[in-house]
Structure 1
Amino acid sequence: MTRPSPPSLTYVPLGEHLRRRLPQLFIGLALYGFSLSLMVRASLGVNPWSVLNEGLEHHTSLSFGTITGAVGVLALLLWIPLKQRPTFGTVANIVVLACTSDLGLLLIPEHLAFPARVGLLVGGVFLNGLSVAVYVGARFGPGPRDGLMTGASAATGLSIRLIRTLIEITVLGAGRLLGGSVGVGTVLYALAVGPTTQFFMPWFAYRSAAERAATVARSARATRTAPVKA
C-alpha cells in the first residue's frame, strides 16, 4: 500500500474544518506531553529541551510541566525581534504540553526496573515522533520552539537544518550544565524522532480545501491528456 504524499504544512485558517483539525491538534499535543513523561521516567536520557527543563527543575521549586510551559513562553518572547506572530496552535502547545507532561509524571511510577525503563524510552521516542506528525499535521501553526527555529532561519538566511542544530546544541549544553540528564535516550531521540515523524506525516497532514481542489483538477487534466491505448 502506497502512503499518500504530504501536502504543505503551512498554517491553515482557524475556521477551516475545525471538527477534524481541533481534536487532532489537542490529541497530538497531549500525546507529545505524555511522551516527554515516558522519557523522563525512563531515566536514560531525554531530548535536548527536556534536558534543559530537567536542569531548571533542579534549581527551582517548579514542576517539570510548569517549567516546560515557562520555557515555551520564553521561546515565544524571542519571536518578537524575529517578527514572528503566534497562532492558536502556538498557545495551545504551551498550555497542553505543560499540563499533560505533569499528568504523565503523576501516573507513571519512578524507580522502575531496567527492562521497564528501556520500554518507556523506546515507547516515548516512538510516541513523540507520532505525536509531532499528529499535531503539526493539524496545521494550526508552529509551536514556540519550532517558530523560533523558522524565524531565526528567515532572519539570518541560514538553513533550517543548521539553525535547528545550533539551537538544539545550545539548549542541550545549557541543560547539561544545570544538571539535566543526558544519555542513550538523548542519542536515540536524535536519530529516531525525525524518521518516525516523517513516516507518519502523510497520514495526518490535513489538506486544505484549496489543496484538495487542486489535486482533483490535476487528476482531471492527467486523465484528459492520458494517451488512449489502441
Structure 2
Amino acid sequence: MTSTVPAERVSHPAAVAGDQAERAMLGRHEDRIADPLPVGAAARAALAWLWALIPRDRRAHRMVQLQLGLVLYGVSDGMILMSGLGANPWDVFHQGLAKHLGLQVGTTVILVGVAVMLFWIPLRQKPGFGTLSNVVVVGLAMDGAMAWMPTPHAWWLRWGEMLAGIALNGVATGAYIGAGMGPGPRDGVMTGYAARGHSIRVVRTSMELTVLSVGWLLGGTVGIGTAAYALLIGPLAHRFIPLLAIKPKDGAAAERTAKAERVEKAEKRPRVAAGAGAGALASENCC
C-alpha cells in the first residue's frame, strides 16, 4: 500500500515555514564547510586596522618618509656590517644570544623584538604602522644592500663606510621616528623614556652600551665600529628626531598664533609698567 501525504499538511503554513528554516540552516552549514575561514573578511579587517594606524594628517608624506627612513636604516646597517670593523651593538647581542640558543640570528632578532616590546607595557607605548613595517622593511633593505655592495679592503674605505653608515643610521632613525607612525621595538623603549622627561641622548647611549656589554659576554663579535656606533648614535638620534619630525598641517598656524600672543604680551608689559610708575608718581605728588 502506498501512503500519501495529505494535501492540507503540505500546504500548511507552519510546515512550509519549517521546511524553509531547515533549508536555510543546511545552507549556512554548507557555507561554513565550504569556507571555514572567511579569508576575505579577515583580510579586509586587517587592512582596515592597518589603515587606522596611519595618522590622518599628511598620510602620503608620512608614508614616504617612513619607508625611506626604514630602507635607509637597513642600508646603513648593512654598510656597518660590510665594513668589517664591528657589528651594531644590538646585532652583537643577537649574534651572541643565537650562539647559546642554537638559532639563526634572524630568528633571534624577531624573538628579541617581541621580548623588548614587553617593556612597552609599563611605558604605555602603542605600536603603530611604522612598528610593523620596521620588522619587514629593514631586514629586506639590509639583505639587498649587502648583496650588491662590494666589500672594501683598503683601511680608509672600511673606515669611511663605517662612519658613513653610522651617520646615515642616525638620519634614518630621525626620519622613520619623525614620521610619527610608531617606532621600532627597540626605539620604542627609547621614545617611551624620553616622553617621561629623560634625554634621548642618554637613554639611547645607555641602551646601546648595555646590549653591547651583554652581547660581548655572550660571544658576539665586537670591533671599533661597534664602540663608535654605541657612542655616536645617541647624539645623532637626539639631533635628527626633532629635526625630521612631521608637524600637523595646522602646526604652523598654531605656532604663528602663539608667537603673536607672546609679542602682544611683551608689548603690554612696558605699558603696564609705565602706567604703574606714573600712578605711583602721581600718588606721591598728591599726597
TM-score (normalizing by structure 2)? 0.62
Quote the Cα distance in structure 1 between the aligned partners of 2:173 and 2:264.
39
Deviates more, 1:22-31 or 1:135-144: 135-144
Find the counterpart in structure 2 of residue 189 from structure 1: 229
Find the counterpart in structure 2 of residue 17 from structure 1: 58
Q: Which has the higher helix share?
A: 2
Quote the Cα distance in structure 1 between the aligned partners of 2:169 and 2:98.
21
Q: Alignment partner of 1:41: what SS? A: helix
Identity %: 40
What displacement does 1:81 show? 5.7
What displacement does 1:15 show? 1.7
Change (3 A) 1:138 1:163: closer
Among 258, 261, 281, the residue aligned to 1:221? 261
Please list every run of 5 or more consecutive structure 1 residues that lacks an aligned counterpart in the other structure. Answer: 1-11
The number of aligned residues is 214
- In the alignment, is residue 204 of structure 1 matched against residue 244 of structure 2? yes
Whether the 8 Å contact between 1:149 and 1:160 is mirrored in structure 2 is: no
Q: Alignment partner of 2:220: what SS? A: coil
- In the alignment, is residue 99 of structure 1 matched against residue 108 of structure 2? no
Q: Alignment partner of 1:209: what SS? A: coil
RMSD of Structure 2 on Structure 1 (CA)? 3.3
Quote the Cα distance in structure 2 between the aligned partners of 1:21 and 1:158.
25
Quote the Cα distance in structure 2 between the aligned partners of 1:100 and 1:67.
18
Change (3 A) 1:170 1:195: closer
The structure, 1 or 2, with the larger RCO (C-alpha pairs under 8 Å, 6+ apart) is 1
Among 26, 51, 62, the residue aligned to 2:104? 62
What displacement does 1:204 show? 1.9
Among 69, 87, 95, the residue aligned to 1:46? 87
Larger Cα Rg: Structure 1 or Structure 2? 2
Whether the 8 Å contact between 2:89 and 2:229 is mirrored in structure 1 is: no
Q: Alignment partner of 2:247: what SS? A: coil
- Deviation per CA, 1:102-129: give whole Å up to 9, x if none: 2222223447332221121011111111
Whether the 8 Å contact between 1:63 and 1:102 is mirrored in structure 2 is: no
Please list every run of 5 or more consecutive structure 2 residues that lacks an aligned counterpart in the other structure. Answer: 1-52, 268-287
**In structure 1, what residue type is equivalent to 2:131?**
T
Among 211, 214, 219, the residue aligned to 1:174? 214
Quote the Cα distance in structure 2 between the aligned partners of 1:164 and 1:132.
11
